[in-house]
Structure 1
Amino acid sequence: MTTEFFKYQGAGNDFIMIDDRNLTFTAKQEQIASLCDRRFGIGADGLILLRNDPGYDFRMVYFNADGAEGSMCGNGGRCAVRFARDLGMVGDFTRFIAVDGEHTAELNDQVVRLGMSDVNGIETLEDHYFTNTGSPHYVAFVTSVDETDVVGIGKAVRYGPVYGPEGGTNVNFAQVIEKDYLKVRTYERGVEDETLACGTGVTACALVAAECFGWEGPVAVRVPGGMLSVEFIRGTEPGNFRDIYLTGPAEFVFSGAV
């Protein structure tokens, strides 16, 4: 069977998008991993299906590059919104459902502003912070992200004795450039490598910085693939945030059939 696909990217975080409203996509984990392979497949950080869902504009189903169904992907969500509009499914505002619940988004020709899940706590640990922004995230502040061994340290943390037994975690390294401005690099589980951007990771870093330094945002975040921005409102309890929005570019790259 031939399947039409569309490639999108958000700040260098790239995804294979498939319109699966007719529920014909039946690929198994190893086949999805093959499609995401950068040497023998299409190449992507993940694969996303758009499906119908009663009460919502669409359902987003996300698979990591290893072919396993994943937790929420922020940049993937922004690309899914752009894809949905390109398909004529939505206008400049949408409400959709993903694995972590309901999301809303606004979009124009340049950027997508995606509503993220509320955050209900940030753990302060000996040399890092931990929070969940739809996906689990380890956040460590470093002097220079450019000089940090993102893959080496990231892999050790992701599979280490603390987080490994619980399914692992994404690992972020954040450098404070100035007030409300971070530089971030991320090791993503499921991709098992550094990615050019991680939406939920950028959100986690921005919220941790806001909690630590008293920032009110929006927080600008430079990642290897470009610029993203995170807005938020503080909750009544420490480490709690609501009305969180991740904003950045989401662009069509190419389409094909496989």
Structure 2
Amino acid sequence: MYFCPHQIEEMILSFYKYQGTGNDFVLVDNRHDIFPKNNTKLIRKLCDRKFGIGADGLILLENDETYDFKMIYYNADGNESTMCGNGGRCMVAFANFLGVIQQETTFIAIDGTHYASIEADVVNLQMQDVTTIENHDEHVFLDTGSPHHVTFKEEISQFDIKKEGAAIRYGAPYFEEGTNVNFVKKLSETEFRVRTYERGVEDETLSCGTGVTAVALAMHHLQETSANTVTLQVEGGSLEVSFEKEATSYKNIFLKGKATQVFKGEISC
């Protein structure tokens, strides 16, 4: 059951909770178009960790005439947002659980089409090609489906990421539109530690899929690694990003890691 069929104030929503390296989401099967997508207040409530289910975002799985399914992603602030890599991986696992797909899929999201494969609980998601990386004095900027500011941070374990991340997210040249902010420490030729401040969540998340993708490409661009497969250690575990460099562009970019169903339930809203 999704919503009560009668026009009463209280509605009952069936949902699933998924997480990918600690980046957690409320997932809803919206193939029958029952979710009130313009209700930002409801989405905020569902994502609230004290008064709702608790999540970094909410994702709807919908029918599509051309692709296996459509993914619609909302930040925890209730607003529809740009692509979410870990959310995309969780959506693939969810679609597999529902029987919408088997081991492979092509689906549509806000930034275009994505191919993915799943084996057990490991999802390998193809990200969009990246043709531009902006070099700045102390950071690089690129868009991997969502905008990302990438900068080095040697003392990565001990600093106020919410304060420093927010200052960059709202500062010039980003201002209100904002950006996600990634702090990076190099551990080896093929391994980097990453902490991410996410816009829309307005805090650190345990993992950010488009963020670690941006970091992997940025580190290769800056010649911090010559490898085409990079491991990113995040607060919620580890992810793998592989890619191919072609002239000044990056193609065949894949984000790989576990995506796990935590629980399912119903909530009055």
> TM-score scaled to structure 1, two decimals?
0.97
Aligned match of 1:200: 210
Aligned match of 1:229: 240
Q: How many residues align?
A: 255
What SS does the corresponding residue of 1:119 show, helix, strand or coil? coil
Aligned match of 1:243: 252
CA distance in 2, matches of 1:26, 1:143: 44
Aligned match of 1:257: 266
What's the C-alpha RMSD, in Å, of the aligned pairs? 0.9
Which structure is larger by alpha-carbon Rg, 1 or 2? 2
What SS does the corresponding residue of 1:173 show, helix, strand or coil? strand
CA distance in 1, matches of 2:246, 2:63: 33
Runs of 4+ more than 6 Å apart: none
Aligned match of 2:56: 45
CA distance in 2, matches of 1:52, 1:188: 28
CA distance in 2, matches of 1:44, 1:147: 25
Q: CA deviation at 1:79?
A: 0.1
CA distance in 2, matches of 1:36, 1:123: 33
What SS does the corresponding residue of 1:3 show, helix, strand or coil? strand
Whether the 8 Å CA contact 2:93–2:121 is kept in 1: the answer is: no
Aligned match of 2:168: 157
What SS does the corresponding residue of 1:84 show, helix, strand or coil? helix
What SS does the corresponding residue of 1:120 show, helix, strand or coil? coil
- Counterpart code for 1:8: Y
CA distance in 2, matches of 1:125, 1:16: 36
- Verify: 1:76 aligned to 2:82, yes or no: no
Identity %: 50
- Verify: 1:7 aligned to 2:17, yes or no: yes
Q: CA deviation at 1:144?
A: 2.6
CA distance in 2, matches of 1:247, 1:99: 20
- Verify: 1:124 aligned to 2:135, yes or no: yes
Q: Structure 2: state its 5+ residue gaps.
A: 1-10
- Counterpart code for 1:250: A
2:158 aligned to which of 144, 147, 155: 147
Q: CA deviation at 1:67?
A: 0.4
What SS does the corresponding residue of 2:80 show, helix, strand or coil? coil
Residues 86-125 of structure 1: matches in 2 within 5 Å? 86-125=97-136
CA distance in 1, matches of 2:172, 2:185: 26
Over residues 135-166 of structure 1, what are the superposed CA-to-partner deviations in whole Å (9 max), with x where a residue is unaligned?
0000001213112321111000111131114x
Q: CA deviation at 1:180?
A: 1.1
CA distance in 2, matches of 1:246, 1:215: 18
> TM-score scaled to structure 2, two decimals?
0.93
What SS does the corresponding residue of 1:164 show, helix, strand or coil? coil
Aligned match of 2:7: none
CA distance in 2, matches of 1:148, 1:205: 19
- Stretch of structure 1 that moved more, 142-151 or 68-77: 142-151
What SS does the corresponding residue of 1:154 show, helix, strand or coil? helix
- Counterpart code for 2:139: H
CA distance in 1, matches of 2:186, 2:159: 14
- Verify: 1:22 aligned to 2:22, yes or no: no
Q: CA deviation at 1:228?
A: 0.1
- Counterpart code for 2:255: L
Over residues 26-58 of structure 1, what are the superposed CA-to-partner deviations in whole Å (9 max), with x where a residue is unaligned?
150011001000011000000000000111000
Aligned match of 2:194: 184
